[in-house]
Structure 1
Amino acid sequence: MHFSVLAAFTVALAIAVALPGPGIFAVVSCAIGRGFREALAMIGGLILGDLIYFTLAVLGMAALARSMGELFIAVKLTGAAYLIWLGVKLWRERPAALVSSETAGPGKRGYRRSFVGGFLVTISNPKTIAFYAGLLPTFIDLGKISASDAVAMAGIVVLTVGAIPAVYAYAAASSRRFFNSPSRLRLLNRTAGTMLIGSGVTVATR
């Protein structure tokens, strides 16, 4: 595969990832409400979801992904409900619990929750399906892609989908340092919760 093809794919993917959408909003709200490490776990879920759709496209199953029909609707509503549930939890969480969790670390349950949330956001996002099922074939003939080409493009997916949301997450998590009073922490929590609920509603209504 020519380098220019990989470069064009990288630029297109980077633009698609960087544009604010349910995935970015979910990561930012997770970073604000739970901290940078949990946001990284959520980004891991985003990456897994993207890799699944990329693999489906490479294997010639993009049409199947597009025509999931009722199954996709069920997945989409499940992802939306999970995001809304996470948002409600942040709304109800006491600021003191947030401070103590930041000191002790999120623990396996927190990482798992965030990872699943990121995965569901990607799997239920029509924009992700549109990119891999519709836009990816414009860069390369998927019927002639080699194993090395697929590995190279998968590596680009991992780096791009991982790095760009991580920048958003780091910036969002850094803002937590300025919210050191219970009232400000409560406001921060509820802002993050509102963003998660909004992401869930966006996923459900697309």
Structure 2
Amino acid sequence: MDLAGLLVFSTALFIAAASPGPGIAAIVARVLGRGAKGALAFSFGIAVGDVVWLTLAVVGLAALAQAFHEVFLVVKWAGAAYLLYIAYRLWTAPAAAQEMDTEVSFENPLQLFFGGVAVTMGNPKPMVFYLALLPTILDLTKVTALGYAELVAATFAVLGVVFAIYIGLASRARRLFTSARAIKILNRTTGAVMAGAAAAIAAR
């Protein structure tokens, strides 16, 4: 793929990914409520979900995606349910001042990964970008195997930068909360954000 086309794609993806949506809200709320540990697996799952949508667009399977509407509907509700589960965990988490500096309970990285995938597959924002907007940015009929590999690499690179920025900012913000009362407010707020992200996915 020519450099100009790759730059256009990367720029458009960066703008789309950086603008707040259910995926970003889920990442930020997770880090604020649970810390940065586990954010990598969760974010990687979200990025892989993006690559799935990218693949569907490149191979011209937008129509197939519509044909398997019921499957994507199940995935959408699974993603919403996962976010609601995290919201419940955050809302009911015990608040103690020292908790900010201690390790959170172990979370299965594989579970976090698939949770991230489910969030992206049920999120209308990447769906619209890859299936509707991407064909207006690139001539998908001329994408070769090498060009597809370059698009996948660019997707991971762009999303990696965007997610790292949000995770870093959320981690710094989390350190500002030191009292038990502040932590309780933080947990309740991030739990509400997670529930809102779930509602945004379920409503589409």
Same fold (TM over 0.5): yes
What is the match of residue 118 of structure 2?
120
Q: Which has the higher helix share?
A: 1
Give the TM-score normalised by structure 2.
0.91
Shift of 1:59: 2.1
What is the match of residue 33 of structure 1?
33
Supply the AA of the counterpart residue of 1:130.
Answer: V
Structure 1 residues 190-199 or 112-121, which shifts more?
112-121
Q: 1:98 & 1:92 partners in 2: Cα distance?
A: 17
Deviations 1:88-115 (A, max 9, x none): 1110011249827x53365352x33432
CA gap of 1:201–1:164, structure 2 versus 1, over 3 A, is same
What is the match of residue 8 of structure 1?
8
What is the match of residue 102 of structure 2?
103
Contact 1:25 1:195 (C-alpha < 8 Å) held by counterparts? yes
Shift of 1:75: 1.7
Shift of 1:32: 0.1
Contact 2:10 2:158 (C-alpha < 8 Å) held by counterparts? yes
CA RMSD of aligned residues (A): 2.0
Give the TM-score normalised by structure 1.
0.90
CA gap of 1:113–1:191, structure 2 versus 1, over 3 A, is farther
Shift of 1:120: 1.2
Q: 2:23 & 2:193 partners in 1: Cα distance?
A: 11
Q: 1:97 & 1:78 partners in 2: Cα distance?
A: 33
- Percent identical among aligned pairs is 40
Q: Which runs of 5+ in 2 are unaligned?
A: none
Shift of 1:67: 4.1
Aligned length: 204
Contact 1:46 1:161 (C-alpha < 8 Å) held by counterparts? no
Q: 2:43 & 2:105 partners in 1: Cα distance?
A: 15
Q: Which runs of 5+ in 1 are unaligned?
A: none
